[in-house]
Chain A
Amino acid sequence: MARRRNIQLRFLAHARSGDKGDTANVGLIALEPEYYPHLVTEVTRSKVAKHFRGMVSSVERFELPNLQALNFLLHGALDGGGTISLKTDAQGKVFSTALLRMEVSVPEALARHAMKREKREG
Chain B
Amino acid sequence: MAHGGQAGTTPPTGHAMKRPIRIGAGQGFWGDWLEAPVRQVRGGPIDYLMMDYLAEVTMSIMQKQRSRDPESGYARDFIPLMERLLPDIVRGGVTVCTNAGGVNPEGCAAAVLKTARAAKLKKRVRVGLVSGDDILDRLDELIDKGHTLADMETGRPLSDVRDRVLSANAYLGMAPVVEALGQGANVVVTGRVTDTGLTLGPLVHEFGWASDDWDRLAAGTVAGHILECGAQSSGGNLLKDWRKVRGLRDPGFPIVEAQSDGSFVVTKHPGTGGVVSIPSVTEQLVYEMGDPENYITPDGVANFSTIQLRAAGKNRVAVTGVRGRPRTDMLKVSIAYFYGYKAIGTLVYSWPDAYDKARAANRVLRGRLRDLGLEFEQILTEYVGVDATHGRLAGPPSPDIAEVQLRVGVRAVEKAPVERFTREIAPLVLTGPPSVTGFAGGRPRVEEIVAYWPALIDRREIEPHVRVRVEEA
Question: Are B292 and A64 in contact, with the CB atoms below 8 A?
Answer: yes
Give chain A interface residues in 46-84, CB to chain B under 8 Å.
Answer: 51-52, 54-55, 62-69, 71, 73, 79-80, 82-84
Nearest residue, chain A, Cβ from B407: A88
B451 CB within 8 Å of chain A: yes
Binding site for A on B (CB under 8 A): 56-57, 153, 237, 239-241, 243-244, 279, 282-293, 304-309, 321, 339, 342, 344, 378, 380, 382, 384, 388-394, 407, 409-411, 449-452, 454
User: Across the interface, do B339 and A86 meet the contact criterion of CB distance under 8 Å?
Assistant: no
Q: How far is the CB of A92 from chain B (nearest CB, A)?
A: 9
Q: Are A20 and B240 in contact (CB under 8 A)?
A: no
Find the residue from B237, B244, B289, B393 having the highest chain A CB count within 10 A.
B289
Which residues of B sit under 8 angstroms from A101, Cβ to Cβ? 390, 393-394
Are B239 and A88 in contact, CB atoms less than 8 angstroms apart? Answer: no
Main SS at interface, chain B = mixed
Cβ distance A70 to chain B, nearest Cβ, rounded Å: 9
- Which of A's residues lie within 8 Å of B, judged by CB? 14-22, 25, 27, 29, 31, 51-52, 54-55, 62-69, 71, 73, 79-80, 82-84, 86-89, 94, 96-98, 101, 121-122
Contact of B392 among A54, A66, A87 (CB under 8 A): A54
Given A29-B282, A86-B342, is A15 in contact with B452 using a C-beta cutoff of 8 Å? no
| Known contacts A66-B307, A79-B380, A97-B390: A84-B288 contact under CB 8 Å | no
Can you list 14 contacts pairing A with B, beta carbon distance less than 8 Å? Answer: A14-B279, A15-B239, A16-B284, A17-B287, A83-B57, A83-B452, A84-B339, A87-B409, A88-B388, A88-B407, A89-B389, A97-B389, A97-B390, A121-B241
A29 touches B286 (CB 8 A): yes
Do B449 and A86 have beta carbons less than 8 Å apart?
no
14 additional contacts, CB 8 Å, given A88-B388, A88-B407, A89-B388?
A14-B279, A27-B285, A29-B283, A62-B292, A65-B305, A66-B305, A66-B307, A66-B321, A69-B282, A69-B286, A83-B452, A86-B380, A87-B382, A101-B393
Residues on B with C-beta less than 8 A from A22 are: 153
Find out whether the CB atom of A27 lies under 8 angstroms from the CB atom of B57: no
User: Main secondary structure on chain A at its contact with chain B?
Assistant: mixed
Q: For the complex, what is the distance from the CA of A30 to the CA of B388, rounded to whole Å?
A: 26
Contact in complex: A71, B292 (CB < 8 Å): yes
Q: Are B240 and A67 in contact (CB under 8 A)?
A: no
For the complex, give the distance between the alpha carbons of A22 and B305 in Å: 24
Chain A nearest CB: distance from B393 CB in Å?
5
A22 to B153 CA separation, bound complex (whole angstroms): 8
Q: Which of B239, B285, B451 contacts A83 (CB 8 A)?
A: B451
Q: Which residues of B contact A97 (CB under 8 A)?
A: 239, 389-390
Q: Are A25 and B286 in contact (CB under 8 A)?
A: yes
Q: Are B239's CB and A20's CB within 8 A?
A: no
Is A16 a contact of B452 with CB atoms below 8 Å? Answer: no
Instruction: Name which residue of chain A comes closest to B294, CB basis.
Output: A62
Q: Is the CB of A87 within 8 A of B308?
A: no
User: Given A16-B239, A29-B283 in contact, is the A88-B288 Cβ separation under 8 Å?
Assistant: no
Q: Which one of B288, B293, B306 lies within 8 Å of A62 (CB-CB)?
A: B293
Q: Which of chain A's residues have a CB closer than 8 A to the CB of B304?
A: 64, 67
A16's contact among B283, B389, B390, by CB below 8 Å, is which? B283
Complex alpha-carbon distance, A65 and B307, angstroms: 10
The answer to whether A25 and B289 touch across the interface, beta carbons within 8 angstroms, is yes
